[in-house]
Amino acid sequence: MSEDIELLTGQNQVEGTVTAVLFRNDENGYTVLKLDCGERGEITAVGCMPGAAPGEALELEGTWGRHPSYGEQFKAEVVTRRMPVGEKAIFEYLASGAVKGIRMGLAKQIVNRFGEDALAVIENEPDKLCEIRGVSPKRARSISEDFRQKMGMRRLAEFLSEHRLPLSAAMPLYNRFGDLAVDVVRDNPYLLADRSLEIPFAQVDALAIELGVAGDDPQRVESALIFELDHNADNGHVFLPEQKLLNATAALIGVEGDCLAQGLDALIERGEVVKEDIAGVTACYPAGLYGAECYVAMRLGEMCRTEVMPPDGLGRLIDAIQREQGIRYAQQQRTAVELAAGRQVMLLTGGPGTGKTTSLRGVLALFETLGLETALAAPTGRAAKRLGETCGAEALTIHRLLETKLDPFTGQLAFTKNQDDPLEVDAVIVDETSMVDVSLMAALLAALRGDCRLVLVGDPDQLPSVGPGNVLDHLLRSGVVPAVSLTEIFRQAQESAIVMNAHGVNRGSVPQLKNNTKDFFYLGRRDAARTVDTVVELCQSRLPQNMGIPAEQIQVLTPTRKRGAGTAALNRALQEALNPAVEGRSERAFGPYIFREGDRVMQVKNNYDLFWEDPDTGAKDLGVFNGDIGVIQEVTAGGITVSFDGRLVVYPPELLGELEPAYAVTVHKAQGSEYRAVILALSDVPPSLLARGVLYTAITRARELFILVGSGELMAQMVDNDRQTRRYSALRTRLLRETGQEA
């Protein structure tokens, strides 16, 4: 039999009695247990089964799998639970420690005294427990409260299972609503549409209709309006025009008429939505994004109006910095350093080869000369690492700079550093600003002291942020924020076809694909299958053997996740070629992936509670962020250990859904990163992704070598398509207002 996990076909059902709980995460309910299935024998079951304990009868629906290390396992997706019946089963349940305060001795006494009514007594008549010697009223109440809590969790889990909703929602719902969770959800099913629960709106809506919610019920209408705003925020929009919002909501839930406008009015009255006429439209904002956009405009407006007194002898200082660095600045670079000396906020922009790094080092050196404590930051871990290496100083992600945490009461992101506890620095330099969305920019500005300087660095031709807004673009187009745009391509950079082709693409010129150079190559392939085969060959043998570039320093990019040459197909092929299954190399299956020691993986969502440790430095902290790439160091029964540039993170089984293979990633995911060699797989790409910005971003990720594998025609289509999807944001207009320059 293969060493890989064997996934057996079809949906399966099992039922039996819990004999032992091997592992449980009390925060999310993920459980590994043994289940006695009678004639079938004892099996191992895994899944979200909060509070499950020995003695319980379970009916499970899910899928079977077999792993070489852990044996046959049943992954439960739907769980139906029955309380133990009969004195023997009740005793086993209580003796297991399932109820806090009851162990084997007391369990035996309770069952002897109350028989099959034992559980009913514990839940409804706890005072009767005092009939047993040694049980005080206080202890009886404590036992009953713990049992009722578990019953509340049980009822909630049963409710979710009955309606085929993810059991992972059970713990957060119970933590929020306690024993009343089922009643609360029945009363307002749309509470399940909370983004943190990750339940599709269509599924929540279907449940609501099933429970008798009318089509034009205010709860339904208002939830649909909020969903549309949140959904569009995920697509980059800070607001939606009112009519567009109403039309989209009408299409979503199939209702028309006054109920939509009434629902919107109700949300506005409660402060969940803000409506404002701005930038020529009637804009509807989620309240949080409205506050963020207004704050960014207000704070940057203040900083733009603030002039800083340049030091005496600025020219001599810059000359001294040049001598120390062994360089002579070009005029644009010198202008950038001079601007940083006299303004509280500035933009420094430029494409590859224009000297952004040199200018940045000059600004940092000037700040140090002036005695300014300066923090370096970037949106992603890789971008921060590159910034730190470039400047020869420590750089942090913006999240770590602001000391990110998750508010346990709201479940929302929060920052320790804010207006009440600002950063203890005199200046902040942020690289890859194009990746910063409006919410993160607001949080950063809130953490700056009133006199703190801010330098925003970026390439305006890169793809915009994944989150809402297009901050760098709006700052530049406003003309309000002092800016230096580096346009001169230096002689050394002109020798790089990567640099020159990137600038050419940006101007609308298609690279000359027949003229392969030392660092820019084109390998034409007619279909997706041949494209994938060629990419694998390049990574496995041609580049390591012919150019001395090992596979771990090659990053494969593609515009799309799906289709024949998307990330899914590429990752399967690359894993098989670069890190195949061999004896002694542990692995674990999760969903569609097999995670194997040595695999390159990516964190695909922000997790502010994940603990990491750097064994070399002793540093410890919380937080792993969307886009971080690491390598699997160890696979054990307890989970998977991943190294993110030396920071070790242990993923328990229930968190493996936050990892994906990263031999190949989308161009969007590669923003902020730089790789020694980049291979762009370009075959069978959806038309919506054939955009100039995508190609430009892919090319500029390569430091030494760029190879296009696939269709030259698709590349030409990308160059020709300079249309940018409009993002609804009014930041530019607000900046102009703040500085007295009405749009």
CA distance 586 to 630: 17
Alpha-carbon span 23 to 321, nearest angstrom? 59
> Counting every residue, how long is the chain?
743
Whole-prediction pTM value?
A: 0.84
Q: What is the pLDDT of residue 3?
A: 36
The pLDDT score that the predictor gives to residue 361 is 94
Lowest-confidence segment of 185-189, 252-256, 457-461, 635-639 by average pLDDT: 635-639
Q: Would the CA dihedral through 657, 659, 664, 665 be positive or negative?
A: positive
Give the Cα separation of 162 and 366 in Å (integer): 65
Judge whether residue 659 has pLDDT over 60: yes
pLDDT of residue 178: 83
Q: What is the pLDDT of residue 148?
A: 84
- Output the pLDDT for position 9: 41
Spatial distance between the Cα atoms of 263 and 219, rounded to a whole number of angstroms? 8
Amino acid at the residue 80: T
More confident residue, 3 or 71: 71
For residue 10, the model assigns a pLDDT of 45
Q: β-pairing, 42-48 with 71-82?
A: parallel
- Mean pLDDT on 644-665: 90
What pLDDT digit, counting tens, does each position of 280-300 carry? 899 999 999 999 999 999 999
Least Cα distance to 374 among 322, 423, 317 occurs for: 423
The 10s digit of each residue's pLDDT in 138-183 is 999 999 988 887 788 778 888 888 888 887 788 888 888 888 889 9
Q: Looking at the predicted structure, is the pLDDT value of residue 302 above 80?
A: yes
Q: Whole-angstrom Cα distance, residue 532 to residue 530?
A: 5
Question: Does residue 9 or residue 276 have the better pLDDT?
Answer: 276
588-617 b/e (C-beta count within 10 Å ≥ 16 → b): bbbeebbbbbbbbbbbbebbeebebeeeee
What is the maximal distance between C-alpha atoms in the chain?
A: 93
Burial of 496 (0-12, 13-18, 19+ CB in 10 A): buried
Highest mean pLDDT among 69-73, 491-495, 555-559: 555-559
- Kindly list the distances between the CA atom of residue 437 and the CA atoms of 234, 329, 456, in Å, as whole numbers in the listed order: 11, 32, 13
Q: Which of 169-173, 412-416, 648-652, 709-713 has the lowest mean pLDDT?
A: 412-416
Within 10 A of 360 (CB to CB), how many other CB atoms are there?
A: 23
What pLDDT is stored for residue 72 in this prediction? 78
* Neighbour count for residue 510 (Cβ, 10 Å): 16
At residue 68, the pLDDT reads 55
* Token pair listed for 398: 């913006």
Q: Find the angle CA(49)-CA(659)-CA(205) to the nearest 5 degrees.
A: 55
Q: What pLDDT, in 10s, does the model give residues 82-95?
A: 778 889 888 988 88
Res 408: pLDDT: 57
Mean pLDDT, to the nearest integer, of 606-635? 86
* Residue 422 pLDDT exceeds 70: yes
Three-class SS state of 304: helix
Cβ proximity of 103 and 143 under 8 Å: no
Please report, for residues 165, 201, 288, 655, the alpha-carbon distance to residue 198 in angstroms, rounded to integers and kept in the order given. 10, 9, 19, 14
Q: Quote the DSSP letter at residue 187.
A: H
* Cα–Cα dist 275/520, whole Å: 50
pLDDT of residue 352: 92
Choose the weakest-confidence range: 40-44, 216-220, 370-374: 40-44
Whole-number Å distance between alpha carbons of 626 and 342: 36
Which helix (H) or strand (E) is 720 found in, with range? helix 712-720
Mean pLDDT is highest, among 404-413, 420-429, 611-620, for 420-429
Q: Please compute the mean of the pLDDT values over residues 204-209 and round it to a whole number.
A: 94
CB 389 within 8 A of CB 341: no
Report the DSSP beta bridge partners of residue 483: 347
For residue 630, give every residue at least 6 positions away whose Cβ sits within 8 Å of its Cβ, in sequence order, or none: 600, 601, 602, 603, 642, 643, 644, 645, 647, 649
pLDDT, position 272: 96
Of 378, 701, 714, the closest CA to residue 555 belongs to: 701
- With 60 as the cut, is the pLDDT of residue 242 above it? yes
Residue closest to 578 by CA, chosen among 656, 679, 661: 661
Range with the poorest average pLDDT among 164-173, 400-409, 590-599, 666-675: 400-409
Where does residue 521 rank: exposed (0-12), middle (13-18), buried (19+ CB within 10 A)?
middle
CA-closest candidate to residue 570, choices 466, 476, 684, 676 = 684
Rounded Cα distance, 207 and 18, in Å: 30
Whether 468 shows a pLDDT value over 60: the answer reads yes
Q: Which two tokens stand for residue 246?
A: 């109403």
What does the block give as tokens for 229? 């705003």
d(CA 679, CA 557): 6
Residue 302 is encoded by which pair of tokens? 């203040």
Hey, how many other C-beta atoms are within 10 angstroms of the C-beta on 420?
A: 8
Residue 183: partners with Cβ closer than 8 Å, 6 or more residues away: none
Q: Distance between CA atoms of 710 and 513, rounded to whole angstroms? A: 11
The yes-or-no verdict on residue 69 having pLDDT over 60 is no
Structure tokens at 242: 């009112």
Average pLDDT, rounded, for the chain:
90
> Residue 6 above 60 pLDDT?
no
Q: Where are the alpha helices (DSSP H) in 96-217?
A: 104-114, 118-124, 137-162, 170-177, 181-187, 201-210
What is the pLDDT averaged over residues 353-358? 92
pLDDT at 2: 34
374 falls in which pLDDT band (50, 70, 90)? very high
Residue pLDDT, tens place only, 116-136: 999 999 988 999 999 998 899
Q: What are the φ and ψ backbone dihedral angles of 200, each rounded to 5 degrees?
A: -55, 140
C-alpha distance from residue 401 to each of 190, 381, 388, 422, 449 (Å): 36, 12, 14, 11, 14
pLDDT of residue 409: 55
Give the pLDDT confidence score for residue 5 in this predicted structure: 38
The fraction of the chain above a pLDDT of 90, given in percent, is 64
CB 607 within 8 Å of CB 597: no
